Amino acid sequence: MPYDASLDKEMFSKSHENDDGKITVSVHSYNNGPKKLQIVRENRDPEGALRFAKLGRMTKEETQGVLPFIQEAIANM
C-alpha cells in the first residue's frame, strides 16, 4: 500500500529555533498505528528560508533546547 498523507496524523509538535535554523520534535501516528517520535532539522539558507537537512549531530545548546520537548512528546505517546 503506498503512503497516504491523509492517514498521517500529527499528535504533538514543538520547535527549538536559533540563528542557524530550527529543530522540530513531533509525534505522529500513521493509519491509527503506534505513535512515533520524529526529530527534524531545518537550516537557514543565505536568503533566510528554511531547508530540510539531516539531523546529524546536535550541539549542547540544541540538545538542551529540544530535551524538554522530547520529554513532553514521550508523555503524549
pLDDT tens-place string over residues 36-77: 999 999 999 999 999 999 999 999 999 999 999 999 999 999
pLDDT interval class at 5 (50, 70, 90):
very high
Does some domain include residue 73? no
Range of the domain at 34: 1-56
**Claim: this prediction has a pTM higher than 0.85:** yes
pLDDT of residue 1: 76
73 and 37 Cβ atoms separated by less than 8 Å: yes
- For residue 70, is it within any domain? no
* Residue 76 domain-assigned (yes or no): no
Count the Cβ atoms, other than its own, within 10 Å of residue 64.
11
Based on the structure, what is the number of domains in the chain?
Answer: 1
Residue 49: Cβ within 10 Å count: 9
